[in-house]
């Protein structure tokens, strides 16, 4: 394969950019990625070793004078077994590049192409595998989908909002803003990871100030990518929330201020009724005729 044709193959499997002097190869999930590595002399009888950086370096592909991971050489990491190949007809031109088939999100990261017997010559690069998201219209390739926003609850403190992102890579940063662009206080984000993708949830409680429109912003600084979703909260929800508090305090005030007065009025009423009953009893006694006394013989006048 000639050099111009080789460049064409590379361009079809992704694209290469330079950042701070290092190469970045970017492909969509499920496609093939070619990681370039070449020197100015034949590598047919050389040793070159591809590794993936991380907490624990992973063996991606090793070639040693004709022996390699695809023809019996042991040591390849399970993540790459059966998925990595080289270009045998290009070895005489110094081409030690490899192809990773059916890329996955977990393939993203830093890689090194190392020639231990040529003064420790090493090439560095970064592979970025963009997730492919699906919606009703079909497949959409992108770093992260638009976040999902919703009203979670209405409390005495305000309206509770939830922002959620699923299947993002690399790990995104979420934040809530009002319509003026002010960043709102929020709870600590809940983050989980599965198969190299991140699921992030961020909640905040908002109150009625100068706006009822709020935005959840998702940012991936490594990719210089940002997306957002906006939610508008009905003013009635804020009224209901504050009204509930006002009613509660009003009831407390009534309980503290009116109750003693009501008790005093009740006691006075009981006393008034008792007085009326006593007076009524006396009046009835005055109206009754005096009882007739029996006459004695001394009371008779002839």
Residue 228 belongs to domain with CATH number:
2.60.40.10
SS3 string, 27-38, reads EECCCCEEECCE
Q: Kindly list the averaged pLDDT for each block of 10 residues, start to end, along the chain of length 302.
A: 42 43 84 96 96 91 95 93 96 97 93 94 92 62 77 89 88 91 93 86 85 90 84 80 46 50 54 53 50 42 34
Same domain, 84 and 23: yes
Q: Tell me, yes or no, whether 266 lies in a domain.
A: no
Confidence at residue 245, expressed as pLDDT on a 0 to 100 scale: 46
Same domain, 83 and 122: yes
Confidence at residue 234, expressed as pLDDT on a 0 to 100 scale: 85
Same domain, 167 and 207: yes
Confidence at residue 10, expressed as pLDDT on a 0 to 100 scale: 44
Confidence at residue 265, expressed as pLDDT on a 0 to 100 scale: 56
Same domain, 165 and 104: no
Same domain, 121 and 7: yes
Number of compact structural domains in the chain = 2
Which of 233, 249, 272 represents a domain boundary (last residue)?
Answer: 233
Range of the domain at 145: 134-233
Which of 112, 130, 148 represents a domain boundary (last residue)?
Answer: 130
Which of 233, 254, 272 represents a domain boundary (last residue)?
Answer: 233
Same domain, 71 and 31: yes
Confidence at residue 204, expressed as pLDDT on a 0 to 100 scale: 94
Cite the beta strand spans of 65-178 per DSSP E. 67-68, 84-86, 98-100, 109-115, 121-130, 132-135, 138-141, 148-155, 158-168, 173-178
Confidence at residue 257, expressed as pLDDT on a 0 to 100 scale: 54
Strands 22-28 and 121-130: parallel
Q: Tell me, yes or no, whether 229 lies in a domain.
A: yes
Confidence at residue 8, expressed as pLDDT on a 0 to 100 scale: 38
């Amino acid at each position: 394969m000639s050099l111009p044709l080789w460049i064409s193959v590379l361009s079809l499997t992704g694209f290469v950019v330079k950042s701070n002097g290092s190469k970045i190869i970017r492909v969509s999930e499920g496609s093939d990625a070619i990681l370039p590595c070449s020197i100015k002399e034949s590598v047919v009888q050389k040793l070159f070793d591809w590794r993936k950086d991380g907490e624990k370096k992973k063996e991606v592909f090793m070639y040693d004078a004709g022996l390699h991971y695809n023809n019996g050489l042991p040591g390849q990491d399970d993540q790459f077994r059966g998925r990595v190949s080289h270009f045998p007809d290009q070895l005489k031109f110094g081409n030690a590049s490899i192809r990773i088939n059916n890329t996955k999100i977990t393939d993203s990261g830093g890689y090194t192409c190392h020639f231990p017997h040529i003064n420790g010559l090493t090439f560095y690069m970064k592979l970025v595998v963009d997730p492919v998201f699906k919606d009703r219209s079909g497949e959409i390739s992108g770093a992260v989908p638009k976040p999902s926003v919703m009203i979670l609850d209405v409390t005495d403190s305000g309206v509770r909002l939830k922002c959620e992102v699923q299947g993002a890579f690399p790990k995104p940063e979420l934040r809530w803003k009002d319509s003026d662009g002010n960043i709102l206080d929020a709870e600590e984000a809940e983050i989980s990871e599965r198969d190299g993708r991140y699921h992030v949830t961020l909640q905040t409680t908002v109150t009625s100030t100068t706006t009822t429109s709020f935005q959840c912003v998702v940012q991936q600084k490594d990719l210089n990518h940002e997306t957002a979703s906006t939610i508008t909260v009905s003013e009635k929800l804020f009224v209901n929330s504050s009204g509930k508090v006002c009613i509660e305090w009003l009831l407390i005030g009534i309980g503290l201020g009116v109750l003693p007065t009501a008790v005093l009025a009740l006691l006075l009423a009981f006393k008034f009724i008792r007085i009326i009953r006593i007076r009524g009893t006396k009046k009835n006694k005055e109206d009754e005729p005096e009882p007739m006394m029996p006459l004695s013989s001394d009371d008779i006048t002839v």
